[in-house]
Structure formats: structure tokens, C-alpha cells
Amino acid sequence: MRESEPESLRAKKARQTRHALHDAAITRVLDEGLECATVANIAADVGVSTRTFFNYYATKEDAIVGLDESNIDATLVDDYVHSDSGVENLAEDTARFVREVLLMGSMDPSLPARRRKLFARYPELVSKRFDRAEALEELVAEHVLARLRFLGQEFSTEESAWRSARMLTQLCRVPLNHAGQTVKRSPERIDEKTGTQPLFEESLGLFLKVLDRL
């Protein structure tokens, strides 16, 4: 397995800002109610402008549920789709790409409980999160398909191409999901300096080992 590249300062800052906005949005809603959670208030709580807010989320509801398919970094996409690594690294590259896109903030162990409380109080937000998650995964699958075609993969039909891309996307979510479960069970394993990255690397290593033995 290739060694992981360190997260760039730009990517780290973007991840932290996205998570901070999501966290502030949840806090506002739980403390003061849905109507009081305005874009201006959420941005002010994080210390950024409303213009910066819209670089990460299209609406306040998107910030509350923590997902928005409009904010995938173009450089991240281009680096993944046009990577020089071959098909032998496809699973690893795709798992890393999926993590970067779907892990919109941080695998904070306190977030699941807060989200459950939020959705219990405002069930109308549940369907929005599901809709956003589906739209985001579909967009990820689109980029995965672009990578497959860049690698020269051919498909008998367009339907077959999309089915393959969606299947690969879902398969390569496993390391992220596994790391998330580890965080949930053992939050003390999160390192103050490196966050959840080592847990993801551990899960990714196991994932690749399992694939190699199949």
C-alpha cells in the first residue's frame, strides 16, 4: 500500500471550517430553535463572513444537516480522476477520495448523539439529510466513473458503467464507515494532533488486506 500523503494546510483548514459551521448550526438550533439559526448567526459564531459560509453550504439547512453536494473541491476531484496511479491503486485512491468528500467535517464522537437529538426535535430535517446524502453519493459515483474511464475501462452499456461506479463508491465507503464505528466505540482513541486520520488509515489498511486475500 502506498503511504498516505499528509493533508495539506488548505484542506485541513477547509475541513475545520466546514465542521465548525456544522457544529455551530446544530448548537444554534438546539439552544434557540430552528428559526434563530440564521446564516448570519451561524457564520458569526464561527467568526467568518456570510460569503465564506456560502463557500461551504448552500443553505442554513445544509449546514445543519452537515451535507451539501455543491462544495466538493474541484482540485480534489481533478487529482483523483486524473491520478497517475494505475488500476492497482484504484480501491485505495477511491476510498481516500470518498473519505475526503463524504467526511464533511470531522468524525467527532459527540456529533451522532447531537444529530439524533436534532432530528428527534425537527423530523423534517431527516429527509433532507437523506436527500443530500444520496445526491452527494451520486456525484461521487460520477467522479468515480470518470476515473474508471480515465483508466481505460470499457463498459457494454451506459447502465453497466453507472452500476459499476455506484458499486465501487459504496464498496469504498467501508473504511470510512469502519473508522466511524471505531470512533463511536472508543472515542478516547482520537489523537489531539492528528484527529481521526490514523483510525482511517488503520481501517483502510485492513480493508485493502481483506481485498487482497479475497
Percent of the chain with pLDDT over 90: 43
Structural domains of the chain in order of their starting residue, each with its CATH number: 9-213 (1.10.357.10)
pLDDT recorded at residue 105? 45
If one compares 106 and 86, the residue with the highest pLDDT of the two is: 86
Phi-psi region of 47 (alpha: psi -120 to 50; beta: other; left: phi over 0): left
pLDDT, one tens digit per residue, over 165-214 is: 999 999 999 998 898 788 778 877 776 666 677 888 999 999 999 999 87
Q: For 115-154, how does the pLDDT look when each residue is reduced to its tens digit (9 = 90+)?
A: 778 888 888 888 887 787 788 889 899 999 999 999 999 9
Separation of alpha carbons 69 and 185, rounded Å: 29
Among 133, 143, 139, residue whose Cα is nearest residue 67: 133
**Rounded CA gap, 205 and 184, in Å?**
19
Mean pLDDT computed over every residue of the chain? 85
- What integer pLDDT is reported at residue 1 of this predicted model? 37
- Dist CA 72 CA 55 (whole Å): 10
pLDDT of residue 148: 96
* Grid cell 469502519 in the structure block, residue: 178
Per-residue confidence (pLDDT) for residue 125, from 0 to 100:
85
Confidence of residue 3 (pLDDT cuts 50, 70, 90): very low
Please answer whether residues 46 and 22 qualify as being in contact, where contact means their C-beta atoms are separated by less than 8 angstroms.
no
Task: Pull the grid cell for residue 78.
Answer: 481533478
Q: What is the pLDDT of residue 2?
A: 45
CB 46 within 8 A of CB 20: yes
